[in-house]
Structure 1
Amino acid sequence: MSSLLRILRFTRDLSPLYTAIIICSVLTAAAGLAVPFLIGHATDTVAAAVGGETPTGTAVRTVVLIAAAVLAAELASTVISNVGGWFGDVMSNRMRTILSVRYYDKLLHLPQRWFDGEITGTIVARLNRSITEITNFVKMMSNSFASMLLTTAAVLVISAWYAWPLALLLLVVFPVYVWLTSLTSVKWQRLEGEKNQQVDIASGRFAEVVGQIRVVKSFVRERGELAEFSRRFGSTDATTREQSSHWHRMDVLRRAFLNLVFFGIYTIIFVRTVQGAFSLGEMVLLVQLMSMAKAPVESMSFVIDTAQRAIAGSRDYFRVMETEVDPRIAAVLAARDDEADGAAAAPAVDPVPGAPVVAFRDVSFAYEDGEDVLHGIDFTIDRGEKVALVGESGGGKSTIVNLLLGLYEPRSGSVEVVGRPSDELPLDQLRDRIGVVFQDASLFSGTIRENIAYGRPAASEEEVADAARRANADAFVRRFPDGYAQVIGERGLKLSGGQRQRIAVARAILKDAPVLVLDEATSALDTKSEIQVQKGLDELMTGRTSLIIAHRLSTIAEVDRIITLRDGRIDEIGSPAELAASGGIYAQLLALQSSGDSRRLASFDITG
């Protein structure tokens, strides 16, 4: 119950709708309760007429009026319950929106470490399942069960007025029935968690396969993927059988107890009527009231089943919502909230005059609790300088980029940007100063214009086109039927590798950040595409401080300095000419490239 109350607190903005639903539930219950009284009165009227106590004409007029009153009460119940149902539908949809938006907002601000341990499809599947289960329960409660509970409470009061043993038996039914149901909860929820885990993993893999369908087909893995998917879902069959068997065994006990109690209730009503304590009308009234009270109890199994699913879903939901965000991200969120409340935006942090644009000060770093992958990294990059990182795969080049972008925090040492420690810079300001072109262009499924303007959505059409021209992309864009409005498909699959990369370069040009990071931006391209993209990169690097990770050594021949890395440590720092003569990693790579020894060159594997 605490989990469900937490959902209500989490969505307190829906309070007006909650209030409207409660009012409709009360009115529906009142209209429904009027019917047994009217029918009981009609029964007494008919009995009096048959017994000769009331004239037939008078009785006929009375029962016709009663029938009209029953019609009015049932019509009122129908209309009001549907109005309440409308409020319930709107409320559940708004709740879905609130929960989904807040979940998405949370995901966007979780640290990179969290995503390293998650599967994209599983994150999506968990969102859909959790919120569906929560909103289904809330919708069911608001559309029907709330009014039934109010009706039951009223029945308790009325039955106590007529005969206290009836109220006593009804009071026994609910706690015992709920207690019997609760006996199943621990085991049921454990098994439900096991099923959810398998379904989430399978759904996550499903999303991965759809996103990588070309790889699946090219390696003829359709059967293998289908078999694994089937195995995951198939494993839930045994869990469901155990879960259902346990639930229905308990349901037999619950219903047997319910039947026994209502046997006692009906016996009391019938015997007291025979003894003259109740009139026929009162007997009919009480029997109908007991039936109204019985309905919520009988549906309790379904309600509790739905509630338990909602509780399990809410736990998965809040497990994500409770994940701690990076303190700097929390500061950004707080500033955003303050700005929304009318407070002034956080002031921009000015660069320190004369300080290096980028500086790593004795930085060491480890992923999670593993061994350090960077050891004592120490270098600076001055304004306008072009610096390249060269080293073997796993040497730490991409990790340095991740630290610069604030995706991770160093274990020791500090990363400085414009003379300020990066952990003192608001993350939005830090990342606004850095433009990145990755090896994977990482485009979205919208139009070319949307992708180029991703960092500056308000950019004009001319600014977008100018960025494309400078990235050597305008010509091929205009050959598309829709030009810049061309939809490029998921991850830009309708474009060639070179085209995707030039769009990524145009995106970085339009962002116009003073610091540029090129993370193997041409390593996956053929020679012709590389030449075209390199022209755009040369334009992009003009006047900017650049940090370059390169696959082909020819692309870094014109840099100011090269930093070589070996096993997470800096091996050498110097100009291309100095390192070419030093005999170190760069010199060895140059020699291998010149000799054409591709096998030995590949053994260096400098791409990671």
Structure 2
Amino acid sequence: MNDRKKAVHVGTVVLETVKGHLWLSLTILAVVAGAVGAALVPPLVLGRIVDGLTAGERLTLRLPLWYLAFTALAGGLESARESALTVFGQKTTHALRSRLMEKEGRLPADELNRQEPGALVSRFVGDVDTVETLFTAGIISMAADACRILSILVVVWQCSRGLAYLLLALLPVLFLFTRFVQKRMLHNQLKNRKAVSRASGYVPETVRNLRTIRTLGKETYMETRYDGALGESYRAIEGTNFYDALYSPVILTVNAAVVGAVMLLSASGDPAVLTLFGMTAGTAVTVMNYISQIFSPLESLGMEIQTIQSAVAGVRRINDFLAQPEQETVAPETENPAAPMVELRDVDFGYEAGQNVLHHLNMEIREGELATLSGRTGAGKSTVFKLVLGLYAPRRGTVRIQGVDPRSLTGPQRRALYGYVEQRFHPVPGTVRDQITLYDDTITEGQVRRAAELAGLAEAIGALPQGYDTPCTPDIFSQGQWQLLSIARAVAADPKLLLLDEITANLDAETERAVLRALKRATADRTVLSISHRVGADTGRLIPIGEES
């Protein structure tokens, strides 16, 4: 299963969307083909009208009506194509964003930590949006234009062999010129996306560390870093704009030169030249229309190259993200109630190759026991939590929770087993109730209220305008109350094991006492593993970290 998931890329998602919306895909093909065919008819009808008038024939309404009908039909089919492509593009981007979110959930914790927030956000937003543009104004339009050019060449061959030869000789040159412009613009688009990702990452970094930056007077330093990334982005955009501005005038000039050359050759008195380029007035009108129809798609292509190349750059970045190795899947195991609640045996672990944070660590915590990890800063206390939670795998040794590898636990099993209280509360979008349940429908209203009571927060929530349905904003709770809400979240599913990560480190004395009272209620009849620098009688058994044992 993992191999299949690793092979997923943007093309896979597009094919799945095509298969899942087959009628929409067939409709797009039908309207594209119809638009190409309908656009060929009006120049032929117009040429027939001109030839009839020059021959002195009486003009009837039949041909003008045919001309108007096919012109309207071509316009209507073009409009239908744009609408269908827009719907298809939206369905594709919806599927792609869902696949990216699934991929993010399967990445190992260390890989997620290495991701730049700005780069990650740009993949979900900017890069995916360019994929939609790739279909609404890119690949299908280019394919339709290519079909239109080939169809016109077939018709022109019947009207003027000389013009057909001229176009066949000229189109490869224009194609090479187009490819040159595409490559230069793609290069600049990739540079621009990298620079924008860095700039996007600097903004949350600055906001997150604003107090430190202002205290140390480092505003200029952050501005310089941000301006440097913006400068790289602007230079890349300038390069892209240069080639974008160059392309269209070249195509228009060649268009005018071909029309002028054909008209001059068709007026030549040389029988050999007229064999190739001779034509009636109506045929000349038809040919001039077709020449414009050939060069118009090329001009449109020049206008769309910037968007298309941006999308190609976005596709590459998304594919790179989807190709990243996923977290190793561990087969489900059966819990053993007789086994220790937490057990680490001869565990070695390190974040970087060749460097270990934990060395031969052995520890065992029985059900109902209260234990506290002690040790210097950087000794690996938080690392032990990550191993117990199954976020990382040990390099050597085993980690077991009631006899099973924590990485094999499913989502529902984790919520029923773990309660985790961090140093700082991390809210999710939604109401107070959503902060406690984390959108878990299996947690009942009674469990929500009991969790709030255990945390000592029921009265504060009841005083809110909408109680538990009050939308969460930063100003509805104090710092201590947010930490109490974190305790309520941890105990809502009545977990067997509570993990407490220095949860009173940032609180004043009075608030700390309130949190400790809530903890006393919340930890009753549970196994508790905590990290605390303040060792007291209520910290339980001390487990030293940072020493070989």
Alignment partner, residue 388 of structure 1: 372
Q: What CA RMSD, in Å, does the superposition of the two structures yield over aligned residues?
A: 3.0
Question: CA–CA distance in 2 between the matches of 1:287 and 1:189?
Answer: 34
Alignment partner, residue 481 of structure 1: 465
1:275-424 superposed matches below 5 A? 277-328=278-329, 349-424=333-408
Match of 1:562 among 531, 539, 542: 542
Alignment partner, residue 424 of structure 2: 440
Question: CA–CA distance in 2 between the matches of 1:304 and 1:16?
Answer: 29
Question: CA–CA distance in 2 between the matches of 1:278 and 1:363?
Answer: 88
Question: CA–CA distance in 1 between the matches of 2:204 and 2:21?
Answer: 33
1:99-498 superposed matches below 5 A? 99-141=96-138, 144-210=141-207, 225-245=222-242, 264-269=261-266, 271=268, 277-328=278-329, 349-426=333-410, 429-430=413-414, 432-454=416-438, 456-489=440-473, 492=474, 494-498=476-480
The 1:148/1:213 distance shift into structure 2, 3 A limit, reads same
Question: CA–CA distance in 2 between the matches of 1:501 and 1:80?
Answer: 60
The 1:198/1:113 distance shift into structure 2, 3 A limit, reads same
1:521 aligns with 2:499: no
Question: CA–CA distance in 2 between the matches of 1:242 and 1:84?
Answer: 32
Question: CA–CA distance in 2 between the matches of 1:172 and 1:429?
Answer: 69
Contact 2:46 2:286 in 1 (8 A): yes
* Unaligned runs of at least 5 residues, structure 1: 332-347, 572-608
Alignment partner, residue 3 of structure 2: none
Contact 1:414 1:422 in 2 (8 A): no
Equivalent residue letter for 2:436: I
Question: CA–CA distance in 1 between the matches of 2:409 and 2:90?
Answer: 39
Deviations 1:468-503 (A, max 9, x none): 0111110111111221122222xx454212111111
Question: CA–CA distance in 2 between the matches of 1:396 and 1:438?
Answer: 16
Contact 1:455 1:510 in 2 (8 A): no
Deviations 1:400-438 (A, max 9, x none): 000111111111111011112335555764564221111
Q: CA deviation at 1:42?
A: 0.7
The 1:435/1:262 distance shift into structure 2, 3 A limit, reads farther
Match of 1:27 among 24, 31, 34: 34
The 1:393/1:194 distance shift into structure 2, 3 A limit, reads same
- Tell me the SS of whatever aligns to 1:569: coil
Equivalent residue letter for 2:55: A
Contact 1:84 1:142 in 2 (8 A): no
Q: CA deviation at 1:358?
A: 0.9
Q: CA deviation at 1:265?
A: 4.7
Contact 2:189 2:309 in 1 (8 A): no
Alignment partner, residue 14 of structure 2: 8
Deviations 1:258-298 (A, max 9, x none): 66656555555555897794222122112211211111122
Deviations 1:494-529 (A, max 9, x none): 421211111111111112221211111222222222
Alignment partner, residue 593 of structure 1: none
Contact 1:216 1:222 in 2 (8 A): yes
Question: CA–CA distance in 2 between the matches of 1:327 and 1:434?
Answer: 21
Q: CA deviation at 1:391?
A: 1.1
Using the aligned pairs only, state the percent identity: 26
Contact 2:38 2:73 in 1 (8 A): yes
Contact 1:388 1:562 in 2 (8 A): yes
Contact 2:340 2:402 in 1 (8 A): yes
Alignment partner, residue 533 of structure 1: 515
Deviations 1:71-104 (A, max 9, x none): 2112222222222221111111112211112112
The 1:515/1:265 distance shift into structure 2, 3 A limit, reads farther
Deviations 1:59-81 (A, max 9, x none): 13x2x222222221122222222
Question: CA–CA distance in 2 between the matches of 1:85 and 1:36?
Answer: 23
The 1:457/1:427 distance shift into structure 2, 3 A limit, reads closer
- Tell me the SS of whatever aligns to 2:441: coil
Equivalent residue letter for 1:400: V
The 1:128/1:268 distance shift into structure 2, 3 A limit, reads farther
Match of 1:37 among 33, 36, 44: 44
The 1:506/1:377 distance shift into structure 2, 3 A limit, reads same
Larger mean CA deviation between 10-19 and 531-540 belongs to: 10-19
1:71 aligns with 2:68: yes
- Tell me the SS of whatever aligns to 1:420: coil
Contact 2:244 2:305 in 1 (8 A): no
Question: CA–CA distance in 2 between the matches of 1:253 and 1:260?
Answer: 11
Q: CA deviation at 1:17?
A: 2.5
Larger mean CA deviation between 188-197 and 100-109 belongs to: 188-197
* Unaligned runs of at least 5 residues, structure 2: 1-8
Deviations 1:189-219 (A, max 9, x none): 3333222111111112223445666666677
Contact 1:173 1:261 in 2 (8 A): no
Question: CA–CA distance in 2 between the matches of 1:158 and 1:266?
Answer: 18
Deviations 1:285-340 (A, max 9, x none): 122112111111222323333322111110011111111111228x7xxxxxxxxx
Q: How many residues were matched structurally?
A: 536
